[in-house]
A and B are shown apart, each in its own frame.
Chain A
Amino acid sequence: MDKQQPPVISLSNIALKKRLSIDTLSANKGECIYILGPNGAGKSTLLFIIAGMITADSGSVLLHNKAIDQWPLASLAGVRALLPQQTENSFQLSVREYLSFYVEDTAAAEVVIPALLEKALEINQFLDKTITRLSGGERQRVELGRALLQLWAQLQQGEAIVLLDEPLQGLDIRHQYAVAQLIQVLCNKGNTVIMSCHDIALSANYSDTVWLLQQGRIIGAGRPEAVLTKDNLETVFECHFAISKHDNFLEFQACAPISLE
């Protein structure tokens, strides 16, 4: 990563009611950031603020050195994608039709899933299925595909910012790792990815940077080995942790919440 370049995203003095309070945070081009923290820590809120979907009460969010509220919605959609947590759908449209509304090139009559995306998500097999009949994990794969297809051209050039709220939710283990790898590949191309996640081991091994959140505050931000320490994890998650390293792969073991007895 070129440290000379200004960060793609930088936040300073962000405050939003009692939910979030952040002094400074930044993301560099090509960085792969995992946000960890217990339920209600503010992971989604943080992602939404970076995406420009919620305006913070105070502080500034800069995207490519330009304040987020100065970006028109339409041009924002051309540089960053956001995957919200699952939404229900009351219309029974086919997956193919659903995706076609989000593919940039509306002139194309057929939705073509790019090979790289298909390898990780494997959605071609249910393109003709009705979206309401998919299982939770299948639906999540389709949603991921939808979010990424929105700016696939930018993703290929390595110029995109991707914000994912629990993209691994509901996925089987194989697809969890496939998606984590897909994200790594996208970051290596120069794209910046920020995603929330509940799998500590996966985060530790697949991220460049971890942001550890607790009650709307950043407990640690930096290299995973530096942030995901036994102390930090035990404070944030209130569990006992054991960390070990095997063949360069970090392993985490957690047991019963401390405060249960």
Chain B
Amino acid sequence: MDKGKRVAIALSIVFVLAICGVLSVVFFSEIEPALKQHIALQLQLPLVLTSTLVGAALASSGATLQVVLRNPLADPGIVGITSGASLVAATLLLLAPTWASPYLHYLLPIGCFIGALATTFIIYRLARQFLGSSTAVILSGIAISTLTGAIIAWLYLFSDANALRNLTFWLMGSVYQTNWPILAVGAPLVLGAVGGQIYLAGALNKLYAGDIAAKSSGVDVEKLTERSLILCAVAVGAAVSMAGSIAFVGLLVPHILRLMVGHNNRWLLPLSALAGASLLCLVALASELTRAITLPVSMVTATLGGPLLIWALAKGHLRG
């Protein structure tokens, strides 16, 4: 697998360069050393870590979900995991009483995490109840997303302008919302979940031939599906709670990597994590360079993602 190694090296270089880029923005600025150190430690480093963790979590979860659900279109957003988190975020941002606002910074990540896990659970139960197939998971995901979207729209109607603005930015995603305490909780969750996904890669490979073939070759398909969904919910829940809802990374990164390194998940999952991390670090670098602190991540990923996806479609590699 020379291709895999080459892509791994290339991605690592991009990743390291992006991180160095973000960190050097402060380093080369003309401010006094003490302040420089403070900014690097309290702002730049959390920024880099958040981008890395969120990118890795979304891309690797997207790759896992696509294989588990046997659907190349699966994405944490499409199967409804993010929608639960968004609903909780919207409720907190729009309805929280004023006295609670100082704590919102910590309430939000916890709430989002619970929201993501709860929707995954509901979607999985619904899917098992109705059909028990992977298509059912996606259909229930879409149903749940539609429903939460509707509730959020109703909440919009009854809230004030300031809360609306906060929510709009949250829904577009940002890698500037974290600090060390949030990272201390989020990082182990993301690392553990992504590690778990990579650990399952060998079993996931067998799903390409379908449920029955996988089961007869010794993979407990139901248990694998359940575990993968939980790992994805944990990773995505943590990512969403750190950076809001970020579109496209989970769909785009794995697809482009499959064109480069093939379908072996032992390569694909770790490389997706690395590529997702690099992508978000590049976005962070872009917003650092343009000094646009509020540059919404989803805006950038969607701007890059749309054309890239169309390009991939045009090449005929993504046909269902």
Contacts and interface: CB of A to CB of B under 8 A. Distances in A.
Interface string A127-169: 0000010000000000100110010000000000000000000
B208 to A, nearest CB: 6
Interface string B202-218: 10011011111101111
B216 A81 contact: yes
Interface stretch (A28-36, A71-79, A188-196, A243-251): A71-79
Interface string A77-115: 110111010010111111001101110001001000000
B202 A106 contact: yes
A53 interface: yes
A91 B263 contact: yes
Contact of B208 (A53, A74, A93, A147): A93
Interface string B65-95: 0010011100000000000000000000000
Given A77-B217, A91-B72, A93-B263, A98 B210 contact: no
Contacts of B211: 87
Interface in B185-219: 202, 205-206, 208-213, 215-219
B177 to A, nearest CB: 35
Interface in A188-224: none
Contacts of A93: 208, 262-263
Nearest to A132: B319
Contact of B213 (A48, A87, A106): A87
**Interface of A: prevailing SS:** mixed
Contact of A94 (B213, B219, B220, B262): B262
B264 interface: yes
Contact of A84 (B72, B205, B210, B319): B210
Contacts of B6: none
Contacts of A48: 212
Contacts of A63: none
Contacts of B70: 90
A147 B213 contact: yes
A150 B217 contact: yes
A51 interface: yes
Contacts of B1: 109
Nearest to A98: B208
Interface string B283-320: 00000000000000000000000000000000001011
